Amino acid sequence: MRLIGELSAVLATALFIFALYWMNDPKTARRGVIAGIIGMAVAVLATWMQPEILHHGWIVVAIVAGFLVGVPLSRVPLTAVPQRTALSHAFGGLAAGLVGTAEYFLWLGEHAAQFTPFRTGALVVEVILGFLTFTGSLMAAGKLQEVRWIPQRPVTYPGQNFVNLGVLGLAAALGVVLVIYPTAAWSGQVFIAIAALALIFGVLLIIPIGGADMPTVISILNAYAGLSAVAMGFVLDSKLLVTAGALDGSSGLILSIIMCKAMNRSFTNVLFGAFGKAQPALAAGAEQKVWKQESVEGAAQLLEQARSVVIIPGYGMAVAQAQHKVRELFDALTKRGVTVKFAIHPVAGRMPGHMNVLLAEANIPYSALVEMDEINPEMPQTDVALVLGANDVVNPAARYAKSTPIYGMPIIDADKAKTVLAVKRSKNPGFAGIDNELYVLDNTWMLFGDAKAVLGDLVKQFGGGGIH
């Protein structure tokens, strides 16, 4: 049995690495899922077969419950994938925190010899990371789902960073105490205090964070969830857990770095910077420029006469669930010989890769999806840039306005296109509260309205023979 356990762990580890390796190409990626499932099944069955497992009924009930909740969670609309992802980080954190808690009280009751300083330390790390990931991810999921009692706008107050670091510091200090005195009469209370502080810290960490930072925050929470699994591996002496957790952690780390670079910000700045704070108006006192509104007919004509069109999607497209209308527009234009490409900013939407998945759902060929760095040199030759519910990622102020939080953030050069059409829900400024001068450029025309409705009207212009 011991042999089966070890063999299955080695096999599962190899399969997990292959699963991630196959994600380097959409053609082989589904193979990765199968490898992952086999690896997981092998590891679960081998563990279940171990002789110390006696209460099979409990395991069956928990697994069945996991299926009952997991299957519906996998069928959410793709626009809800960011909150589903945040929720799954929360579940991962919860599992690590609870197993850590169970192990601590188990050792306290029966196996005090387990409390080597190293393992107690790993246990403290597991519980802190697990519980802070749990509440932090729940908050993030709530914000993304726009749950009513969770404020969408960042909540900030004076001394916030001091309070946050104080809570975390106190938890860490109590952790040190626990490592030194793991079995004192009051150690159980210390442990519970650590868990409570970690739960509180997770909430405090996320309340100052706004929607535009979600891609980075979700990636960081992903890394935390992975690291809590690593800590659990140290506690349980399981190399399989350490490996799988490290794979998850490094994935979260890489995505966080990519997201931070795409916003020209540091980790600490994202977590302690409160990006969404309302900023003073960019050009206070300067002449107020006005928007030029375009009719749907005019916009359709512009698009039809273009030779190349670059569509720049943003969160507005996801909110309006407009991706299928985008596809219809893509078809209509392509049929008329217009070259249509999509410019994807790394932080467009609410999680890494959000736009790619939505457009893939609408059957837009992924060869038409172009990364920011590749599309920008083409922008000056582009006839029409169609901005679709994107805002900060096309704001030219990022190039020079040092007073704005988006200063230095690489942007898609929509303003360099010969004509810009911008579809926007309302006349309010974008999430970061910054005016977007793209909308008042000489060559920009605005189309106000819900992205799906506007696109629907546009497509009708082509379909109904309104032009031809």
Please state the φ and ψ torsions of residue 99, each to the nearest 5 degrees. Answer: -65, -40
Binds another protein by CB under 8 A, chosen from 79, 120, 135, 243: 243
Residues 202 to 221: which contact another protein by CB under 8 A? 218-219
Task: Say how far apart CA 398 and CA 395 lie, in whole Å.
Answer: 6
Q: Where on the phi/psi map is residue 264: left (φ > 0), alpha (ψ -120 to 50), or beta? A: left
236 binds another protein (CB under 8 A): yes
CB of 89 to another protein, least distance (A): 7
Task: Say how far apart CA 115 and CA 101 lie, in whole Å.
Answer: 14
Q: Between β-strands 384-388 and 444-448, what pairing exists: parallel, antiparallel or unpaired?
A: unpaired
CB of 229 to another protein, least distance (A): 5
The smaller minimum CB distance to another protein, of residues 356 and 461, is found at 356
The smaller minimum CB distance to another protein, of residues 240 and 299, is found at 240
Residues 409 to 468: which contact another protein by CB under 8 A? none
Of 105-113, 300-308, 376-384, 453-461, the segment contacting another protein by CB under 8 A is: 105-113
193 binds another protein (CB under 8 A): no
What are the distances in angstroms from CA 42 to CA 14, 35, 53, 224?
12, 11, 16, 25
CB of 114 to another protein, least distance (A): 12
Exposure string (b/e) for 263-275, b if CB count within 10 Å is 16 or more?
bebebebbbebbb
Instruction: Give the Cβ contact number of residue 26 at 10 Å.
Output: 10
Q: Between β-strands 444-448 and 419-424, what pairing exists: parallel, antiparallel or unpaired?
A: parallel
Instruction: Give the Cβ contact number of residue 3 at 10 Å.
Output: 8
Task: Say how far apart CA 430 and CA 126 lie, in whole Å.
Answer: 38
248 binds another protein (CB under 8 A): yes
Task: Say how far apart CA 304 and CA 337 lie, in whole Å.
Answer: 9
Binds another protein by CB under 8 A, chosen from 95, 147, 190, 282: 95
The smaller minimum CB distance to another protein, of residues 206 and 247, is found at 247
The smaller minimum CB distance to another protein, of residues 187 and 238, is found at 238
4 binds another protein (CB under 8 A): no
225 binds another protein (CB under 8 A): yes
Binds another protein by CB under 8 A, chosen from 6, 10, 183, 239: 239
Residues 17 to 76: which contact another protein by CB under 8 A? 17, 19-21, 23-27, 29-30, 32-33, 36-37, 39-40, 43-44, 47-48, 50, 52-56, 58-59, 61-63, 65-67, 69-71, 73-76
293 binds another protein (CB under 8 A): no
CB of 331 to another protein, least distance (A): 14
The smaller minimum CB distance to another protein, of residues 37 and 180, is found at 37
357 binds another protein (CB under 8 A): yes
Query: How far does Cα 436 stand from its chain's mean position?
Result: 24
Binds another protein by CB under 8 A, chosen from 163, 203, 254, 440: 254
392 is catalytic: yes
Position of tokens 């009051």?
Answer: 186
Residues in contact with another protein, counted by CB under 8 A, come to a total of: 109
Task: Say how far apart CA 359 and CA 418 lie, in whole Å.
Answer: 25
Answer whether 335's CB lies under 8 Å from 341's CB.
Answer: no
- Cα-atom radius of gyration of the chain, to the nearest Å? 25
Residues 361 to 380: which contact another protein by CB under 8 A? 361, 363, 365-366, 369, 371
195 binds another protein (CB under 8 A): no
Residues 115 to 174: which contact another protein by CB under 8 A? 116, 118
Position of tokens 């296109």?
Answer: 417
The smaller minimum CB distance to another protein, of residues 44 and 193, is found at 44
Hey, is 422 helix, strand or coil?
Answer: strand
Query: Amino acid identity of 429?
Result: P
CB of 209 to another protein, least distance (A): 18
Hey, is 383 helix, strand or coil?
Answer: coil
Annotated catalytic residues are 392
